Structure 1
Amino acid sequence: MADFSSNGMTRRGLLGVFAATVVTAAPFFSNAPAYARGAGDIRRLRMYSGRTGESMDTIYWIEGKYIPEVVKEINHFMRDWRTDDVVKMDPRNFDIMAAAHRLMDVNEPYMLLSGYRSPKTNAMLRSRSGGVARNSLHMKGMAADLRLNSRSVGQMAKAAAACAAGGVGRYSRSNFVHMDCGAVRSWGG
């Protein structure tokens, strides 16, 4: 497993960048979903977690394929930090997150507030807040709650909604946006 440092990319992500410079620019598949085209030919995620102190800056997709080792690192990064449970996250959500980040033209990493949630964590959060769904997509590894200091909730939600690939929840009072790869829908204010 790569170290998550506050300053750099993961080792595998860096190797992916070097590999990308060697490969001739491959045409992007014309039948790819619009949100994936927005993510770019090389897909990158930049995140940090205030809960665990970890950060990552990694390329997880290149030449039309996910990099399995990097996907595993992202799964670990997005684990339920309360229980330390890790699941296989749906990589379509990584694509939505990467595409929205790219559309906002920002270098700041996302602050990950919540990725995977165990049923126990989801039940605890649900008992404290009416805004937590009983059958949350967080429990299926299909959602992330994210924040950027340099962009408003409205700007983030607009970028995520432009991907037209999943759910977008605006939580203005709590200053975060929910992005998921479930049905296309939006809520909040």
Structure 2
Amino acid sequence: MDRGAQVGQRMTDQPSVISRRGLLGAFAATALIAAPTYSNAAGFLRGAGDIRRLKMYSRRTGESLDVIYWIEGDYIKDALTEVNWFMRDWRRDRSRAIDTRTVDIIAATQQLLDTPTPFLMLSGYRTAETNALLRKRSRGVAKNSLHMKGQAADLRMQGKSVRQVARAAASCAAGGVGRYSRSNFVHIDCGEKRLWGR
């Protein structure tokens, strides 16, 4: 069942480029705006009629999300509830509030990539149990992962390379961006500004 479609609205994507000037232009002048709301990215918010949209799907659950979650300065509570459920720990079927800063970075990254293609979400929120399980399988999983706080997501996008997605996310200058080329995904979080991997 497409839970996001219950709340979401369809909009036409506006073009943008991956550069500081292009980022400012994309977030200041277009009708569809998706920008981080904190740190160095606060200056990206400009103009009236701002709308932020998120598009993702999950092969694990078979669910899709296409939702407008912010309009003219206000987050839409029901839409965020949909985001929280979509980004749940599917292994435990448990959800928590996803940090809106992370949601904004993901949406801004999607806007910068200038494509209607949704993100494939590999991992959103993780319970402590799931994080411990994944740590046993991989040395790349942090003990105190921001996934457990609802502040991180691991994503990939069909037709876009890890480098392209990471570059767009890093252009937001608003959190952590990890490149995992061998596994074909990008980690995005709302923690300290940093870049790692290749």
**Aligned with residue 151 of structure 1, among 129, 151, 160:** 160
Partner of 1:55: 64
**Aligned with residue 102 of structure 1, among 91, 95, 111:** 111
**Aligned with residue 117 of structure 1, among 123, 126, 134:** 126
Identity in percent? 58
Once the two structures are superposed, residues 23-49 of structure 1 have per-residue CA deviations (whole angstroms, 9 ceiling, x without a partner) of xx99x9xxx546463799210000000
**Structure 2 unmatched ranges of 5 or more:** 12-29
Distance of 1:170 and 1:162 partners within structure 2 = 14
Distance of 1:98 and 1:38 partners within structure 2 = 13
Letter in 2 for 1:93: T
Matched, 1:134 2:143: yes
Residue 134 and residue 10 in structure 1: after superposition, are their counterparts in 2 closer, same or farther (change >3 A)? same
Once the two structures are superposed, residues 99-150 of structure 1 have per-residue CA deviations (whole angstroms, 9 ceiling, x without a partner) of 0110110110000000000000000000110100000000000000000011
Using the TM superposition, name which of 109-118 and 34-43 deviates more: 34-43
> Normalising by the residue count of structure 2, what TM-score does the alignment of the two structures yield?
0.81
SS at match of 1:179: strand
Distance of 2:157 and 2:150 partners within structure 1 = 21
- How many residues align? The count is 172
Partner of 2:93: 84
> Normalising by the residue count of structure 1, what TM-score does the alignment of the two structures yield?
0.84
Partner of 2:191: 182
Letter in 1 for 2:6: R
**Structure 1 unmatched ranges of 5 or more:** 18-24
CA RMSD of aligned residues (A): 2.3
